[in-house]
């Protein structure tokens, strides 16, 4: 009876804990869905609602224990892996990037807000700078004494409760902090960027201040005709029309700086291999990426296996200490090691040239060939401890009887290694070699921290260099190294990387299976 009562008590506590946790999850989910509803993100809202209902159904129903354990992992897999891959695939078929990151309506409003000039006969608005919750606001007093409040995100609205000084200028508002002169100077750059819309219509212009005390009205220098869907430069009369590529362009194909996101099909993939500024460097980067990944796997495996066999002798003294020393490079973060090596190999001030080579100026990181050799050597230093550990474990798992039998049959050490040990090692290590290839194919840290991808190619305006691999090229394209951010092209290149790695891995695993069949 006591046991049954104890079980019931535990079940009651479990039920209460489950209800509390689900309540917290549901409360957070409801908040998120309210934000999605306000932003009119209907598809995401529908998916979130389905997920919340599924989680409640899984954990509130009786039974289904495996689903209760699998649900969190599956959810995180969908959010952090599947969604990321699918979203990257979607972006690859768009022109998403600098100047093309929103809708057409947003682009029209942005053009009207940025292309503004001061109205010649604009009256002066006495201005005070206010702050609330770290956001900056401007409090205006027009010549008639009317007080209005606005910010970069909110249009002008009346502020009848404002406090005025003896000259009639509004200087404070309940709930807001009025900035003094020193505070205005400290945030001068942010204040200068504030453009307060006069109304919800961008065509009505905005109010801006250059000193935090006086503001003037500005109006767009570009007129937008909604019926014709065109922009007209009010000074030159040039007309800009929708060119079908997510931008407004004139007859000479000159485009306005702000565009919008559209679907471009396979244009990004075509651009990757046809753009004269990218085609040549891209082919060189692909060849070097394969060379770097394959050479890194071969070199690290060869050195790791050699050291593993060397320190696997039972009669060697102090081999535990040697093994600890061997894995020290693996214990340091790769990005930190890359920075240290970049200092050591610096052509002008590096320890290698200045101390070891007596002041020589050898371009270890500036010469295209030497830079590639340096990258491979540093990656060998970083990667061999992993292979050393793996090969040591694999060697210790081999039956010693095979070695003894081969020696009794007259086989020498090299014959034993080549005909017995190596094939058996490859059966267990081959999947790790494939994983090592995939890792080095995307080994961002060692390339970026050591050389930054340089030295740069001279036949392109893009920031692409001799030691760039595909993943560093994707980073530079995505984050504006040279020609601005181009997320669409970067996503297309990322998909190409995925296809290459997946193909090589599939072929390699097939060969590994064949190797297992031969040895069995």
Q: What's 26-65 look like in SS3?
A: HHHHHHHHHHHHHCCCHHHHHHHHHHHHHHHHHHHCCCCH
SS3 of residue 298 by DSSP: helix
Q: Is pLDDT of 474 > 80?
A: yes
pTM above 0.75, yes or no: yes
Q: Is pLDDT of 122 > 50?
A: yes
pLDDT range class, residue 330, cuts 50, 70, 90: confident
Question: Can you give the pLDDT at residue 91?
Answer: 95
Average pLDDT over residues 315-334: 85
Question: Can you give the pLDDT at residue 231?
Answer: 96
Q: Is pLDDT of 4 > 60?
A: no
Q: In the chain, what's the furthest Cα-to-Cα distance?
A: 110
Average pLDDT over residues 104-126: 89
Is 129 buried (19+), middle (13-18) or exposed (0-12) by CB count in 10 A?
buried
Question: Can you give the pLDDT at residue 263?
Answer: 96
Dihedral over alpha carbons 14, 15, 20, 21 (to 10 degrees): 60
Among 273-277, 340-344, 515-519, top mean pLDDT goes to 340-344
pLDDT range class, residue 131, cuts 50, 70, 90: very high
Question: Can you give the pLDDT at residue 517?
Answer: 59
CA distance 441 to 379: 12
Say if residues 94 and 103 touch (Cβ distance below 8 Å): no
Question: Can you give the pLDDT at residue 173?
Answer: 95
Question: Can you give the pLDDT at residue 9?
Answer: 41
Tens digit of each residue's pLDDT (9 = 90 or more) over 42-74 = 888 999 999 999 999 998 888 888 888 899 899
Average pLDDT over residues 223-238: 92
Is 486 buried (19+), middle (13-18) or exposed (0-12) by CB count in 10 A?
buried
Between residues 140 and 412, the one the model is more confident about: 140
Give the lowest-confidence range in 121-135, 228-242, 419-433.
419-433
CA angle 388, 389, 393 (to 5 degrees): 115
Q: Is pLDDT of 492 > 90?
A: yes
Question: Can you give the pLDDT at residue 282?
Answer: 92
Give the rounded percent of residues in the chain with a pLDDT score beyond 90. 57
pLDDT range class, residue 328, cuts 50, 70, 90: confident
Tens digit of each residue's pLDDT (9 = 90 or more) over 174-189 = 999 999 999 999 999 8
Question: Can you give the pLDDT at residue 520?
Answer: 55
Among 73-77, 170-174, 418-422, top mean pLDDT goes to 170-174
Q: Is pLDDT of 340 > 70?
A: yes
pLDDT range class, residue 200, cuts 50, 70, 90: confident
Mean pLDDT estimate for the chain: 89
Q: Is pLDDT of 8 > 50?
A: no
Tens digit of each residue's pLDDT (9 = 90 or more) over 369-383 = 999 999 999 999 999
């Amino acid at each position: 009876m006591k046991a049954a009562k104890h079980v019931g008590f535990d079940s009651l506590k479990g039920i209460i804990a489950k209800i509390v946790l689900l309540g917290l999850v549901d409360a957070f989910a409801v908040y998120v869905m309210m934000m999605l509803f306000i932003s009119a993100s209907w598809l995401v809202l529908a998916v979130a609602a389905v997920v919340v209902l599924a989680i409640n159904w899984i954990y509130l129903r009786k039974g289904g224990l495996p689903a209760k354990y699998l649900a969190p992992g599956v959810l995180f897999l969908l959010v952090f892996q599947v969604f990321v891959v699918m979203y990257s695939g979607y972006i690859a078929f768009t022109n998403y990037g600098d100047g093309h990151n929103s809708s057409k309506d947003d682009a029209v409003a942005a053009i009207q807000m940025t292309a503004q000039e001061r109205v010649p006969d604009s009256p002066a608005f006495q201005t005070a700078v206010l702050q609330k919750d770290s956001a900056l606001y401007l409090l205006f007093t027009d010549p008639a004494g009317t007080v209005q409040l606005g910010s970069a995100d909110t249009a002008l609205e009346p502020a009848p409760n404002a406090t005025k000084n003896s000259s009639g200028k509004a200087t404070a508002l309940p709930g807001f902090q009025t900035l003094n002169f020193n505070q205005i100077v400290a945030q001068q750059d942010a204040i200068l960027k504030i453009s307060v819309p006069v109304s919800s219509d961008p065509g009505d212009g905005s109010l801006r201040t250059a000193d935090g005390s006086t503001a003037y009205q500005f109006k767009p220098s570009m007129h937008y005709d909604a019926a014709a869907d065109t922009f007209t430069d009010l000074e030159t009369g040039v007309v800009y029309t929708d060119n079908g590529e997510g931008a407004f362009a004139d007859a000479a194909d000159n485009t306005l700086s702000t565009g919008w996101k559209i679907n471009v099909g396979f244009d990004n993939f075509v651009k990757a291999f046809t753009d004269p500024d990218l085609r040549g460097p891209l082919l060189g980067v692909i060849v070097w990426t394969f060379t770097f990944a394959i050479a890194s796997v071969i070199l690290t495996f060869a050195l790791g296996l050699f050291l593993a066999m060397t320190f696997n002798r039972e009669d060697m003294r102090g081999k535990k200490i040697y093994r600890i020393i061997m894995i020290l490079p693996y214990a340091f973060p790769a990005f930190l090691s890359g920075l240290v090596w970049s200092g050591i190999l610096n052509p002008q001030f590096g320890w290698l040239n200045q101390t070891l080579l007596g002041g020589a100026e050898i371009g270890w990181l500036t010469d295209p060939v030497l830079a590639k050799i340096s990258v491979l050597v540093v990656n060998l230093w970083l990667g061999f401890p992993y292979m050393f550990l793996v090969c040591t474990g694999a060697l210790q798992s081999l039956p010693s009887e095979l070695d003894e039998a081969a020696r009794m049959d007259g086989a020498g050490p090299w014959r034993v290694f080549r005909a017995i040990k190596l094939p058996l090692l490859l059966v267990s290590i081959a999947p790790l070699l494939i994983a090592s290839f995939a890792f080095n194919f995307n080994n961002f840290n060692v390339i970026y921290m050591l050389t930054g991808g340089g030295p740069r190619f001279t036949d392109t305006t893009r920031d692409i260099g001799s030691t760039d691999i595909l993943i560093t090229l994707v980073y530079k394209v995505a984050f504006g190294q040279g020609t601005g951010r181009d997320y669409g092209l970067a996503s297309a290149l990322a998909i190409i990387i995925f296809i290459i790695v997946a193909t090589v891995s599939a072929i390699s695993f097939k060969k590994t299976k064949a190797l297992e069949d031969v040895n069995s």
